[in-house]
Chains A and B, each alone.
Chain A
Amino acid sequence: MKTHGALYLVATLLLAAPWLLPDYALEVAVQALILALFATAFNLVFAETGLLSFGHAAFFGAGAYASALLMQRASWPYLTTLPAAVLTAGLLALIIGFFSVRTSRIYFTMLTLAFAQLVWAVVHKWYAFTGGDNGITGLHPGALWGDVRALYYLALALFALGFALVRMLHHSPFGYALRAIRDNPARAEAVGLSPFGYLLAAFSFSGALAGAAGFLQVAWQRSAFPDFLYWTKSAEAIIAAILGGAQALFGPALGSLVFVELGAFVQARTEYWPLVLGLVLLALVLFLPRGLAGLGGRRARG
Chain B
Amino acid sequence: MKRGMRFLALLVLMLAGAALAAEPIKIGAMYILSGNFANYGTSSKQGVQLAVEKINAKGGILGRPIEVTFVDHGKPDQAVREAKRLILENKVDFLFGIDSSSVSLAVAPVANEYKVPLIVTHAATPRLTEMCLPYVFRTSNNARMDSWAAAAFAAKQPYKRWANIGPDYEFGRVSWEDFITRLKELKPDVEVVSEQWPKFGSSDYSSYITALMRAKPEAVFSSLWGGDFVSFGKQAIPFGFFKTIKFYVNPTGGALQALEPLGKNTPEGMLVSARYWFLYPETEANKAFVKKFHDKFGDYPSYNAGEAYEGMMMLAAAIEKAGSTDPDAVKAAFEADGGLKYQAIEGLKWMRPADHQVFEDLVWGYTKHTDKYPFAILDPIVVVPAKDTIYPTKCAK
Contact yes or no, A132 B109, CB < 8 A: no
Task: Classify the secondary structure of A's interface with B.
Answer: helix
Interface flag for B113 (CB, 8 Å): yes
A137 to B109, CA, bound (A): 7
Stretch in A22-30, A95-103, A180-188 with 4+ CB within 8 Å of B: A22-30
By a CB distance below 8 angstroms, the chain B residues around A124 are: 169
By a CB distance below 8 angstroms, the chain B residues around A31 are: 81
Contact yes or no, B82 A268, CB < 8 A: yes
Given the known interface contacts A135-B76, A137-B108, the answer about A272 and B81 at a Cβ–Cβ threshold of 8 Å is no
Contact yes or no, A138 B131, CB < 8 A: yes
Stretch in B84-92, B145-153, B202-210, B348-356 with 4+ CB within 8 Å of A: B84-92
Given the known interface contacts A27-B88, A222-B80, the answer about A267 and B105 at a Cβ–Cβ threshold of 8 Å is no
A217 to B81, CA, bound (A): 12
A60 nearest CB across to chain B (Å): 11
By a CB distance below 8 angstroms, the chain B residues around A228 are: 77
Contact yes or no, A222 B85, CB < 8 A: no
Interface flag for A274 (CB, 8 Å): yes
Which residues of chain B from 43 to 94 have any CB-CB distance to chain A below 8 Å in the complex? 70-72, 74-78, 80-82, 84-85, 88-89
By a CB distance below 8 angstroms, the chain A residues around B170 are: 127, 132-134
By a CB distance below 8 angstroms, the chain B residues around A22 are: 88-89
Contact yes or no, A227 B77, CB < 8 A: yes
Task: Please indicate which of the listed interface residues A132, A138, A228 has the most CB atoms of chain B within 10 Å of its own CB.
Answer: A138
Contact yes or no, B85 A268, CB < 8 A: yes
Interface flag for A264 (CB, 8 Å): yes
Given the known interface contacts A24-B88, A134-B127, A222-B80, the answer about A271 and B72 at a Cβ–Cβ threshold of 8 Å is yes
How many A-B contacts at CB < 8 Å in the complex? 90
By a CB distance below 8 angstroms, the chain A residues around B74 are: 267
By a CB distance below 8 angstroms, the chain A residues around B80 are: 220-223
Interface flag for A273 (CB, 8 Å): yes
By a CB distance below 8 angstroms, the chain A residues around B82 are: 267-268
In the complex, the chain A residue whose C-beta lies closest to that of B200 is A133
Contact with A along B128-142 (1 / 0, CB 8 A): 000100000000000
A139 to B169, CA, bound (A): 22
Interface flag for A78 (CB, 8 Å): no
Which one of A23, A225, A263, A271 contacts B102 once the chains associate, using CB atoms below 8 Å? A225
By a CB distance below 8 angstroms, the chain B residues around A263 are: 78
A149 nearest CB across to chain B (Å): 13
Contact yes or no, B78 A267, CB < 8 A: yes
What 17 additional pairs, Cβ within 8 angstroms, besides A27-B81, A28-B81, A225-B106?
A22-B88, A22-B89, A23-B89, A124-B169, A132-B170, A135-B105, A137-B105, A137-B106, A217-B77, A220-B80, A223-B76, A225-B77, A227-B76, A227-B77, A264-B85, A267-B74, A268-B82
Binding site for B on A (CB under 8 A): 22-24, 27-28, 31, 124-125, 127, 132-135, 137-140, 146, 217, 220-223, 225, 227-228, 263-264, 267-268, 271-274
Binding site for A on B (CB under 8 A): 33-35, 38, 70-72, 74-78, 80-82, 84-85, 88-89, 101-102, 105-106, 108-110, 113, 125, 127, 131, 168-170, 173
A165 to B359, CA, bound (A): 56
By a CB distance below 8 angstroms, the chain A residues around B173 are: 127
Contact yes or no, B72 A24, CB < 8 A: no
A20 to B82, CA, bound (A): 21
Given the known interface contacts A27-B88, A133-B170, A135-B105, the answer about A274 and B35 at a Cβ–Cβ threshold of 8 Å is yes
A38 to B82, CA, bound (A): 21
Contact yes or no, B34 A272, CB < 8 A: yes
A41 to B71, CA, bound (A): 32
Contact yes or no, A223 B106, CB < 8 A: yes
By a CB distance below 8 angstroms, the chain A residues around B110 are: 222
By a CB distance below 8 angstroms, the chain A residues around B101 are: 134
In the complex, the chain B residue whose C-beta lies closest to that of A271 is B33
A15 nearest CB across to chain B (Å): 22
B112 nearest CB across to chain A (Å): 9
In the complex, the chain B residue whose C-beta lies closest to that of A263 is B78
Which one of B34, B105, B131 contacts A271 once the chains associate, using CB atoms below 8 Å? B34
Contact yes or no, A23 B88, CB < 8 A: yes
Q: Which 9 A-B pairs have the closest CB atoms?
A: A271-B33, A24-B88, A23-B88, A24-B89, A138-B109, A271-B72, A225-B76, A133-B169, A223-B106
A268 to B30, CA, bound (A): 11
By a CB distance below 8 angstroms, the chain A residues around B89 are: 22-24
**Residue contacts A-B, CB under 8 angstroms, 21 given:** A23-B89, A24-B84, A24-B88, A28-B81, A132-B169, A137-B131, A140-B109, A217-B77, A221-B76, A223-B80, A223-B106, A225-B76, A227-B76, A227-B77, A267-B71, A267-B72, A267-B82, A268-B82, A271-B38, A271-B70, A274-B35
Which one of B84, B109, B127 contacts A27 once the chains associate, using CB atoms below 8 Å? B84
By a CB distance below 8 angstroms, the chain A residues around B35 are: 274
A302 to B264, CA, bound (A): 66
In the complex, the chain B residue whose C-beta lies closest to that of A134 is B170
Given the known interface contacts A22-B88, A267-B74, the answer about A135 and B102 at a Cβ–Cβ threshold of 8 Å is yes
